[in-house]
Amino acid sequence: MNDERLTGLLGSLRYERMDRVADDRIRARLEHAWTARQRERGLSWRVRRLVPLLATLALFVGLGAATMNAGGDSALYGARVAVEDALVVLRSDPQERADYLLALLDQRQAEAARLESAGNAAAAGRVRAIEQRTLDLVRAILPEAPDLEPEIVAPEPSESPSPTPSATPSPSPSPSPVPTPATTRPATPRPAATATPRPATATPKPATATPVPTGTLMAVKFSGKVRNPDLTPADNVCVRLDPNSATCLTKTVQGAYSVTASARMNQTVTIYFTRLDGTILYKAYVSAVVKSATVTMPDAKLAK
């Protein structure tokens, strides 16, 4: 075979088609490689899109944690106060809102005391201003317990026993003169002394007076239990500080209740309870004297 023939045969191979089996195998390999590349590209693309989102979320979580843990001497304390004040409106129940505000007030008082003990007067003054604003908000939302006039018990007048008149002894009759010798003088009897009766004096009893309320208004938490006439826990009982009010401050759950109100030290506070069962109205009330920020009321028993 000469060179010209070999060159011609090799040139004719350019126009020959490959075997179908080999062609299908190569096509399958190419499609598999392309699919794998698309899958890897899609996963990496998703990861690249997710990384900025995760980073942003982590930044917000870290910033939020730093803000909510910021002290009074931190630049983020103002943002923390704004967030805490905004959370007040999310609590629809009056008692929950009052408890949340009281917790905020205690927290800010402790923060101000810590800064004052550390000698940071500027930060302590700023926290004290925020504390006063919180106290005003607490007083604005808390119902005020009505003042009761102190009832002074007057001493009862005791009847003085009238002196028993003593009988005045009558003078004994003088004996008849008996003739005696001239040298003897008759003895003259002396009248008996009469005792002057003294009027009995009654010892006055000391008057017991109700303590007069003192000090400024403060937040006081009253708690206790209400029972049915058969002494079982009374549920769904309306709790009021004012008997003429049509709004319930709260209602009992398993016989227990908790009410926060503004009151003064030594003030006598009365809480009223009512429940309407059909046409039957059950009522009760209890009273106690405020001696601290937490008062446990006596158990109340409903009656018709």
Among 267, 276, 270, 218, residue whose Cα is nearest residue 241: 270
Q: Stretch 59-77: mean pLDDT, rounded?
A: 78
Q: Stretch 50-61: mean pLDDT, rounded?
A: 78
pLDDT at residue 154 greater than cutoff 50: no
| Alpha carbon distance 107, 33 (integer Å) | 64
What 3-state DSSP class applies to 253?
strand
- Residue 145: CB partners within 8 Å, gap ≥ 6? 220, 241, 261, 262, 263, 267, 269
Residue 19 has what DSSP assignment?
A: P
Q: What is the tens place of the pLDDT at every residue in 156-195?
A: 444 545 555 554 555 555 555 555 554 455 555 555 555 5
Q: What is the tens place of the pLDDT at every residue in 94-117?
A: 778 888 888 888 888 888 888 888
